[in-house]
């Protein structure tokens, strides 16, 4: 290992993940659900993970959402799985997570943090020898969304997250994210959905969705997203009716052309025609609903 890496502090930005669409094609024989989802990432909102290389793993937290982190952290899991995969003792060190993404919010915060840890570990271990396929396989052992969060680019993910098509379209969608601050279990959302068994024709739907030509520019992406849906929104709204209030409030703001639940929630998003409209909507929603977490951003 080059000795210069021992003095190399690295920092990775872990962007919040937003599922613009989420089709549940059915429940597989193994108990998992087959999904298709168009995913974008917040360009200017997320957590920051800093790593100071050293011989021993440590993790500290700060930031407005640090107190909400409870139990095992996926940064630690990523560090352990990276060492297991290499079969050696790679350089690790002191991780510091500046936490801003709300926890258990449908924004992929834990997966984004794990992906950031893997990127940081690869930077300080340049001889890791992992190609993209091997890295994805490692990431999937941590969580279904971690391969997507490794890329942090517009993409379509399918299956349980293991099949990914990165989109070439230059996308910049002004958006507002709103979390009403209610607990919502992903497991309960899927149980309430009570999806039917996976149909034989599902593979063809997946194959079509993973064709990047469908999203050749921002206009095509917008059309696809408008025609899409989030199959987890109805069960999530039954479990937490305030989600319906959030979506209705977003739709009432000026310039909002789409409002929907992200993932299993409870965070919802609104898409706008300009950053000024998104900022004005965020200000209005924060003023009228001070108990909600509200953030304007740009998705891409």
Q: Which CATH class is domain 173-195+231-299?
A: alpha beta
- pLDDT reported for residue 170: 87
Q: Which of 230, 263, 268, 262 is nearest to 248 (CA)?
A: 268
**CATH (residue range 3-166):** 3.30.230.10
CB-CB neighbours of 183 under 10 Å: 9
Cα dihedral 111→116→122→128 (10° resolution)? 0
End-to-end CA distance of the chain: 36
Of residues 53 and 31, more confidently modeled: 53
Do residues 239 and 192 make contact, with C-beta atoms less than 8 angstroms apart? yes
- What does 174-196 look like in DSSP terms, one character per residue? EEEEEE------HHHHHHHH-PP
Please report, rounded to a whole number, the percentage of residues in the chain having pLDDT higher than 90: 81
The DSSP bridge partners found for residue 95 are 51, 59
Please enumerate in sequence order all residues whose Cβ is within 8 A of that of 55, keeping only pairs 6 or more positions apart, or say none: 91, 92, 93
pLDDT at 4 > cutoff 70: no
Taking the C-alpha atoms of residue 109 and residue 102, their distance in angstroms, rounded to an integer, is 7
* Residue extents of the structural domains in the chain: 3-166, 173-195+231-299
Do residues 97 and 7 make contact, with C-beta atoms less than 8 angstroms apart? no
Taking the C-alpha atoms of residue 12 and residue 18, their distance in angstroms, rounded to an integer, is 19
Write the pLDDT tens digit of every residue in 232-273: 999 999 999 999 999 999 999 999 999 999 999 999 999 999
Please give the C-alpha separations between residue 116 and each of 51, 111, 200, in angstroms, as whole numbers.
Answer: 10, 9, 37
- For 61-67, what is the mean pLDDT? 92
The DSSP bridge partners found for residue 47 are 14
Show which residues are catalytic.
Answer: 17, 145
Q: Please provide the size of the chain in residues.
A: 300
pLDDT at 214 > cutoff 70: yes
Q: Is 260 helix (H, G, I), strand (E, B) or coil?
A: strand
Taking the C-alpha atoms of residue 225 and residue 220, their distance in angstroms, rounded to an integer, is 9
- pLDDT reported for residue 2: 38
pTM: 0.93
**SS3 helix, strand, coil % of the chain, rounded to 5?**
40, 30, 35
């Amino acid at each position: 290992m080059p000795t210069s890496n021992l003095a190399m502090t690295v920092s990775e930005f872990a962007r919040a993940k937003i599922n613009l669409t989420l089709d549940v094609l059915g429940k597989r024989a193994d108990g998992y659900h087959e999904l298709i989802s168009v995913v974008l990432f917040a360009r200017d909102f997320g957590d920051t993970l800093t790593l100071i290389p050293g011989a021993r793993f440590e993790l500290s937290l700060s930031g407005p959402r640090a107190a909400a982190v409870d139990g095992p952290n996926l940064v630690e899991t990523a560090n352990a799985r990276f060492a297991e995969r290499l079969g050696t003792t790679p350089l690790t060190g002191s991780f510091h997570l500046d936490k801003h993404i709300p926890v258990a919010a449908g924004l992929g915060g834990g997966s984004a943090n794990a992906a950031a840890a893997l990127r940081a570990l690869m930077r300080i271990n340049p001889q890791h020898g992992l190609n993209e396929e091997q890295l994805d396989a490692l990431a999937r052992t941590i969580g279904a969304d971690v391969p997507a969060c490794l890329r942090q680019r517009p993409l379509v993910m399918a299956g349980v997250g293991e099949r990914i098509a990165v989109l070439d379209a230059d996308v910049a969608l002004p958006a507002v994210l709103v979390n009403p601050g209610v607990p919502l279990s992903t497991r309960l959302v899927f149980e309430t959905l009570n999806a039917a068994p996976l149909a034989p024709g599902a593979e063809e739907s997946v194959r079509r969705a993973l064709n990047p030509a469908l999203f050749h520019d921002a206009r095509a992406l917008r059309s696809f997203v408008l025609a899409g849906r989030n199959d987890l929104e109805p069960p999530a709204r039954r479990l937490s009716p305030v989600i319906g209030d959030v979506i209705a409030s977003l739709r009432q703001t000026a310039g909002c052309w789409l409002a929907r639940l992200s993932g299993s929630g409870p965070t919802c998003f609104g898409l706008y025609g300009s950053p000024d409209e998104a900022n004005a909507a965020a200000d209005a929603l924060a003023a009228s609903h001070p108990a909600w977490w509200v953030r304007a951003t740009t998705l891409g």
